[in-house]
Structure 1
Amino acid sequence: MVVGICVGETSLTEVTFISDKMPKVGEYVTIEYDGKKVLGMIENLIRGNDALNVDINDFKAIQKISRIGVEDNYIRGKVKILGDVNDNLKLPRTPVLPGTEIQLADKDVLEEIFKVKNPIKLGTLVNQSDVEVNVEANPILSRHLAILAMTGAGKSNTVSVLIDQLLNYNVPIFVFDMHGEYVNAEFPNGDVNVIKPKLNPKYMEFYEMKKLMNIPSNAVIQERHFRDAFNYANDELSKGTSETINFLDIMYDYLEVKSGVNDEEAKVDKSMVDVMNKILDAKIKYSNLFYQNAPNIVSNIQAAHVNVLDLSQVDEYVASVLVSHILRNSLQRSKDAAHTGNKEDLMKNSVFFILEEAHILAPKKRDSDSKRMIQRVAREGRKFGLGLCLVSQSPKTVDHDALSQMNNMIILRLVEPEDQRHVQSASESLSQDLVNQLPSLNVGEAIVLGLMSKVPTLVKIDEFKGRQHGDDMDIASYFANFKEKEEEEIRKTEEELNDLGYGY
């Protein structure tokens, strides 16, 4: 089917066309010229009328023209050139000749485009529901992914579809679950392994413990005392002489003796006492976080499972330390495996990390432990089998360096211009015309681009077939029947009292 005819000046990357029928933005087209069959995507459409141009300011004149009817309506569009269908989508060396017809792409051409080696089925084309959209798994796992959308656009459903598809390959998936959405989820292709946020201090770095103890960076003397106690506790545990004693207790006892707080004649070191008090506060505040005999969290990761770290009961401060701790340990473990020279050992340590609320864990305007490790894994992870997926409903507040390392993007509806600009600045593949389409996407529709797909794509994401808990609460329905429920409870209570002989 002829979509339009090329007009004006053409280039190697885009073509303007005029049409007598209305195509759709996101549709794929083919243009045949110079012995080539070039694939393109319609990225922009304008409908106009020469007789009803913006220079006419007389309302009655406009009304008369519109009543009479005119034949001056036109449709102008822009096609982004994607590449030669018969030459592995390489960009052509010569531009299209003006006057060349543009055809709607055949289904068999599109199916060949979306045929990949290790398919991840995301959904179907928005404009052609009979064409499945498959993306390549390996670029997602090694070159990272961002899933971005405003609230309610279908982000949680997209994450769940992706997880379920990756489970087909038995990939170890690790979700930093900030709101407990995936703890009770059910995936058709695999099981959920819930991991509690339990930290064994002996696996922690000094700076991680210092952060949790709330010792400021400029408190040099407190830091020195804390480091001495930290090193002492580690030495004691390594000797095996204090296995039954809590790590923090060892630190406290060490400082208590050294400070002379129990010696009436000794001069008490106030800075040391301050550190002791912070250790006591931490014991109370983090009583459910530290566990003396807990294994390293990374050792709990299971292949062919969705490994979910439930962070719904911890604050953002602790979540940042946990994310940093786990990413650091996982990266170090993978590096150690790589140094053995055994590729199989390295592959066994591969993990795909999904970070919900990425704007909290990798914030744009402030520093954090998790942000630094996310940036590091984003830069180094692909060499060691570690992948990242940053998920956020506030892209504008996600760290630009981390976001720009995501070589694949699934972008659902975004309305805020600042969100759009921030995402576009982090992606080389997102054109202004595609950005302009983001506010008009329906729920569950997304622009997919990056190394995982041969071409930018408008996708209707599949509906997740398992069970998840990312939907909004139906508060109105609950309280709509509140009075009836309350009256029913009173009636049941009265009946029970009557049965017991307490009736009036």
Structure 2
Amino acid sequence: MTNPSKKLGVIVGVDGDVSEVGMYHMSNDAQYIWYGELLTGPKVGAFLTVNQNDIKIITTVSSEKVVDQQNTVRSKEFDNRFHKDSINRIITLKTKGVIEEGKFQVTSQYVPMIGNEITLTTKLELDIIYGVENDEAAIYIGKSILEGQPIKIPINKLFASHIGVFGNTGSGKSNTLHKLYLQLFRTKYNKSIINTSQFYVIDFNGEYTGEEMFGVDASDKMIYEIATNKDNGIKLPVKKEYLFNADILSILFDARSATQVPFLRRAINLWNEKKFDGDGIAKFVVGTIKKILTSGDAASSDAKDNWISVANSFINNDSLFNELKGLEYHSQRKAYMYMNDGERKYINDKSDMLHEDTVYLNLNQIQDQLSRTFESNNEIKKLKMHLDFQKVHQTSWKSTNIEHLNPLFSRIDTAFSSLEKVIEVVEDISDKYKTLNIISLVYANQEITRLIPMLLSKMIYDEQKKVVAGKEVTKTKHLIIDEAHNILNADYRNSGDDWQDYRLSVFEEIIKEGRKFGFYLTLSSQRPADISPTILSQTHNYLIHRLVNEKDLRMLENTMPTLDKSSYQKIPSLGQGEAIITGNAIQVPIFVKIDKEEKNRPSSDDINLTELWSKKL
């Protein structure tokens, strides 16, 4: 037999989904013991049940006040004295949904009516509201703040979606992010997850590099500590086609749109078209010097010396270039000349170079040396060699001013020096990554920190699309970005320069289209207002810790349709580890105290200064 419910009052006013309750008693007990159950009293934020025949309308308390029935501020008798039957307590309720036939659903089919009685929401009703279907797989995340009710989130509705975890520093968001996936790997699906899914964690602060992080065995986990200050670190495997991409290199090199971006596009298109080997590129670049020497005044005056300078940087043999350096330009005949056995020789203008000129200038030996140098280099140095010669090639005939490209090449040198330390260029990545891949960027410089997340994200997203497009999804990829505002800041977007928009475009495509390909994004940030609104609005489930910045709060209010006003107003007052969970995975916003792991948690705890300063040296 079901225990009777504790009756509290009756509906005295209805306005849309907001109702007023006249309470039977002035009792303000925070909790009630009712038939052995400890139930939450009618305080702001708590659930109350409106009984309408067999339907139970579930509401939350949004405000309360007292009304003096006998005295008013206009009455002469008003003296603030309390009379037993004078003061009435009025509670305002916000309708959340209904329980019908043992199931909770959000619907506008039923609304409270004047005269409906209000009762405390029982443990059984709370189980229905917070619970999941009996056969639905879920993870335990913590307990509800007001009722202490265990909170489980359905696995399918949460992890097959884009997730946002937001909160100020010290609010507990890093612990929450880790807890979500730790609980997932603790489920009975662990082995199947390892066989069918991959997880990539972009960790800007090195918080998730501990051995036990996420509860994944070392054999199924890889930690990439991307360090630009040392040469012997673990390098991130990157497929050649993604690194040697004009858009990506333009961002890496901070190329200017007027001249530098077109130069890079031409150079990279040629690189991808020709697929140079040593012999191929050597023949191409020696062909450039031959063309310079036979172009007369069509070539710029410094083209020959520029070519020699680049070639000499790759061939450590100055004597090979003595004859080239000794060439003189005859302005009247518009041709280069040299002395051979006392005889003046002219290199023919606008015609193929003679064999004897080639022999005299050591061009065959230079070509052979360049071929060997190219073959002995890694992929990044090969591309660097190609770009250096392309600078000469594209500026030798005055179509491009070399002065416009020199600043770009100073940045290229710096960027390639960093890239060589952190990237391994490979043909295929299908067997390069493990189930859990943590990419720590705490030791990376600014250029690499900006590049790696975008490069990795585009690469694994495109690879997933290739596998899944037009087929059933049998494998999934999950990209987790901590401190996401570092790379998803819409303020950096510069309309009109397409390549500057590339970074955000990559992530906007992922968050718009990723679900259909089994690619899911989890974002964590202390500044949600800095994240592109397009990206934020496409997020399906949110775990929100304490936020106090007005700009952040407005952004959440504008982009989260499932967050009601009363829940929104509580965000600034949440304690450490407390969060509001809202979104597609649950039917109503839930205030939860996220369980904190004692040992296996991110290295993001606040530093205890007095403990540190108390240690004996």
Counterpart residue number, 2:535? 402
Which residue of 540, 549, 573 corresponds with 1:416? 549
Counterpart residue number, 1:163? 181
Please state if 1:231 is matched with 2:258.
Answer: no
Aligned pairs for 1:294-309 (under 5 A) are 296=429, 299-303=431-435, 305=436, 307-309=437-439
Please state if 1:31 is matched with 2:50.
Answer: yes
Give how far 1:187 is off: 4.3
Provide Cα deviations, 1:133-166, integer angstroms capped at 9, x if missing partner. 1111122222211111122111111112101112
Give how far 1:290 is off: 3.3
Q: Which amino acid in 1 is paired with 2:483?
A: E
Please state if 1:151 is matched with 2:169.
Answer: yes
Counterpart residue number, 1:213? 253
Q: In 2, are the aligned partners of 1:14 and 1:80 still within 8 Å (CA)?
A: yes
Counterpart residue number, 1:125? 144
Give how far 1:269 is off: 6.2
- Higher Rg of the two aligned structures: 2
Give how far 1:359 is off: 1.6
Aligned pairs for 1:353-502 (under 5 A) are 353-367=479-493, 369-465=502-598, 466-481=600-615, 484-485=616-617
Q: Quote the Cα distance in structure 1 between the aligned partners of 2:222 and 2:178.
A: 15
Counterpart residue number, 1:326? 456
Which residue of 87, 99, 113 corresponds with 2:115? 99
Give how far 1:230 is off: 4.3
Q: In 1, are the aligned partners of 2:166 and 2:545 still within 8 Å (CA)?
A: yes
Please state if 1:202 is matched with 2:240.
Answer: yes
Q: In 1, are the aligned partners of 2:238 and 2:423 still within 8 Å (CA)?
A: yes
Please state if 1:250 is matched with 2:265.
Answer: no
- Most deviating of 320-329 and 177-186: 320-329
Q: In 1, are the aligned partners of 2:415 and 2:447 still within 8 Å (CA)?
A: no
Give how far 1:310 is off: 0.8
Q: In 1, are the aligned partners of 2:237 and 2:432 still within 8 Å (CA)?
A: no
Q: Residues 10 and 211 (structure 1 numbering): CA distance in 2 closer, same or farther, change over 3 Å?
A: closer
Q: In 2, are the aligned partners of 1:233 and 1:250 still within 8 Å (CA)?
A: no
Q: Quote the Cα distance in structure 1 between the aligned partners of 2:132 and 2:445.
A: 44
Q: Residues 30 and 76 (structure 1 numbering): CA distance in 2 closer, same or farther, change over 3 Å?
A: closer
Q: Quote the Cα distance in structure 1 between the aligned partners of 2:578 and 2:137.
A: 23
Counterpart residue number, 1:335? 465
Q: Which amino acid in 2 is paired with 1:364?
A: A
Counterpart residue number, 1:89? 105
Q: In 2, are the aligned partners of 1:447 and 1:456 still within 8 Å (CA)?
A: yes
Q: In 2, are the aligned partners of 1:140 and 1:387 still within 8 Å (CA)?
A: no
Provide Cα deviations, 1:214-234, integer angstroms capped at 9, x if missing partner. 322222553355435643785
Q: Residues 84 and 222 (structure 1 numbering): CA distance in 2 closer, same or farther, change over 3 Å?
A: same
Could you tell me the TM-score, scaled by structure 2's length? 0.67
Q: Which amino acid in 2 is paired with 1:321?
A: L
- Most deviating of 429-438 and 69-78: 69-78
Q: Quote the Cα distance in structure 2 between the aligned partners of 1:371 and 1:195.
A: 24
Q: Residues 458 and 275 (structure 1 numbering): CA distance in 2 closer, same or farther, change over 3 Å?
A: closer
Q: Residues 449 and 190 (structure 1 numbering): CA distance in 2 closer, same or farther, change over 3 Å?
A: same
Q: Residues 97 and 239 (structure 1 numbering): CA distance in 2 closer, same or farther, change over 3 Å?
A: farther
Provide Cα deviations, 1:423-464, integer angstroms capped at 9, x if missing partner. 011011111121112122222221111111122211121122
Provide Cα deviations, 1:251-302, integer angstroms capped at 9, x if missing partner. 34335555559xx9x9996256555444323233434223345964x75443
Q: Residues 273 and 467 (structure 1 numbering): CA distance in 2 closer, same or farther, change over 3 Å?
A: closer
Q: Aligned with 2:14: secondary structure? A: coil
Q: Percent identity?
A: 22
Q: Aligned with 2:563: secondary structure? A: coil
- Most deviating of 143-152 and 83-92: 83-92
Q: Residues 433 and 411 (structure 1 numbering): CA distance in 2 closer, same or farther, change over 3 Å?
A: same
Q: Which amino acid in 2 is paired with 1:472?
A: D
Q: Quote the Cα distance in structure 1 between the aligned partners of 2:14 and 2:66.
A: 20
Q: Residues 295 and 438 (structure 1 numbering): CA distance in 2 closer, same or farther, change over 3 Å?
A: same
Counterpart residue number, 1:16? 20
Give how far 1:308 is off: 1.0
Q: In 2, are the aligned partners of 1:202 and 1:234 still within 8 Å (CA)?
A: no
- Most deviating of 377-386 and 242-251: 242-251
Number of residue pairs aligned between Structure 1 and Structure 2: 467
Counterpart residue number, 1:65? 80
Q: Quote the Cα distance in structure 1 between the aligned partners of 2:442 and 2:70.
A: 58
Q: Residues 319 and 229 (structure 1 numbering): CA distance in 2 closer, same or farther, change over 3 Å?
A: farther
Q: Quote the Cα distance in structure 2 between the aligned partners of 1:17 and 1:223.
A: 70
Q: Quote the Cα distance in structure 1 between the aligned partners of 2:377 and 2:142.
A: 54
Counterpart residue number, 2:415? 282
Provide Cα deviations, 1:326-351, integer angstroms capped at 9, x if missing partner. 2222222222112363x3xx322x11
Q: Aligned with 2:80: secondary structure? A: helix
Q: In 2, are the aligned partners of 1:356 and 1:391 still within 8 Å (CA)?
A: yes
Give how far 1:92 is off: 4.7
Which residue of 61, 73, 77 corresponds with 2:92? 77
Q: Which runs of 5+ in 2 are unaligned?
A: 1-5, 29-41, 227-235, 282-370, 494-500
Q: Residues 145 and 232 (structure 1 numbering): CA distance in 2 closer, same or farther, change over 3 Å?
A: same
Q: Quote the Cα distance in structure 1 between the aligned partners of 2:278 and 2:126.
A: 62
Q: Quote the Cα distance in structure 2 between the aligned partners of 1:420 and 1:251.
A: 46
Counterpart residue number, 1:494? none
Q: In 1, are the aligned partners of 2:143 and 2:594 still within 8 Å (CA)?
A: yes
Q: Residues 73 and 211 (structure 1 numbering): CA distance in 2 closer, same or farther, change over 3 Å?
A: same
